[in-house]
Amino acid sequence: MSAAGDWVSVFAPATIANVGPGFDCFGISLGEPGDIVRARVVAEPGVKITAIRGDGGALPYEAERNTAGQAALAILAGEGEWAARHGLELEIEKGLPAGSGLGSSAASAVCGAVAAMLAVGHATGSVYNRDRVLFAAVDGEAVASGAWHADNVAPALFGGFTIVQSLDPLNVVRLEPLLPCRVAVVTPDFVVETKRAREALPKSVSMRDAVANCANAASLVAALLTANGPLLRAALADRLAEPHRAKLIPGFAEAKRAAIAAGAYGCSIGGSGPTLFALAPDEDDAERAGEAIVATFARHGLTSRLLVCEISPLGARRI
């Protein structure tokens, strides 16, 4: 096959989903670290993954079972006749660990979708389409999580703070927080499988808890958009997912208390965990909160890594 196109390289960042009261709808971009996918058009139909690095050999090369591969397939599915005579070759470079709560599978899916869209666009003249890419990335991410959701995909694609208003129809809004805010992200060295974390959740909740989460989700958005720190402090609480998933993370309650005592607005679980995040007014507070979480994990026999960053305006980008 000689008719291969130019390589397109795309980076997508780590993200934190849920962000307290926004279970399955809120997400924030951490800017970096992240994953990289390279794509180029080839003459063979379908998607062929020819290299995966940084995954310790864990990820499948079969496109349909790989989040980046499936996302690229979803882009090809929109190209009709052209896709019967062309395909994509992908190379994947994982910067994010799987099962950590940093949106690893979403980052790969987003990279795959964006790289595929750009490579296909170069070849066919297709215009880059935000909604098509979003849909393809969500489709790809479902391979890993077993569920159709977009709370990591949205910030990995668009950056900033995102709300998945609806999955069907898929509608995502991206907000630019006004409140100065730093994020401490602590990832302990063990894995929580997304599917297991999802099974830990009940199918129904009390009306009281549902109302409390609605009030907190709305208040958290109001706090970010009107720079209201005390309101963020009050609203960063979750009654839907956190109480059930906390049991999967040794020392969670203690780590949360320690982070808040160290100056954080609040602390909760990143996605399905075991990563914990804390939001704090400034770099020093975030640093102290993060170190308090690391120290708590250490007392529970867990090593962990701390990252302090901001809610990054950056999502997926060509590199």
Contact residues toward a copy of itself (CB under 8 A) are 21-26, 163-166, 171, 173, 175, 201-207, 209-222, 225-226, 228, 231, 234-235, 240
* Minimum distance of a copy of itself from residue 16's CB (angstroms): 16
Task: For residues 21 and 8, give the distance between their C-alpha atoms in angstroms, rounded to a whole number.
Answer: 37
- Strand-pair partners of 49: 90
Q: Which is nearer to a copy of itself, 124 or 228 (CB)?
A: 228
- DSSP assigned state of 186: E
Active-site residue, selected from the candidate residues 15, 162, 194, 275 = 194
The Cβ-side half-sphere exposure at 193, using a 13 Å CA radius, reads: 5
Q: Sort 252 into a burial class: Cβ within 10 Å, 0-12 / 13-18 / 19+.
A: buried
Catalytic: 124? no
Q: Which is nearer to a copy of itself, 90 or 267 (CB)?
A: 267
* Minimum distance of a copy of itself from residue 206's CB (angstroms): 5
- Strand-pair partners of 163: 26, 173
* Minimum distance of a copy of itself from residue 214's CB (angstroms): 4
Checking phi first, is residue 263 left (phi over 0); if not, alpha (psi -120 to 50) or beta? left
CB atoms within 10 A of CB 318: 10
Amino acid symbol at 220: L
* Minimum distance of a copy of itself from residue 236's CB (angstroms): 11
* Minimum distance of a copy of itself from residue 37's CB (angstroms): 29
Active-site residue, selected from the candidate residues 141, 242, 275, 296 = 141
Q: Which long-range contacts (CB under 8 A, 24 or more apart) does 241-246 make?
A: 241/18, 241/23, 241/201, 241/269, 242/20, 242/268, 242/269, 244/200, 244/201, 244/202, 245/192, 245/197, 245/200, 245/201, 245/269, 245/272, 245/273
Q: Which is nearer to a copy of itself, 21 or 34 (CB)?
A: 21
Q: Which is nearer to a copy of itself, 198 or 300 (CB)?
A: 198
Task: Output phi, psi for 157, to 5 deg.
Answer: -85, -45
Catalytic: 141? yes
* Minimum distance of a copy of itself from residue 289's CB (angstroms): 22
Instruction: Give the contacts of 243 (CB within 8 A, at least 6 positions apart).
Output: none
Q: Which is nearer to a copy of itself, 21 or 270 (CB)?
A: 21
Q: Which is nearer to a copy of itself, 217 or 293 (CB)?
A: 217
- Can the peptide bond before residue 243 be classed as cis, meaning omega within 30 degrees of 0? no
What are the catalytic residues? 141, 194
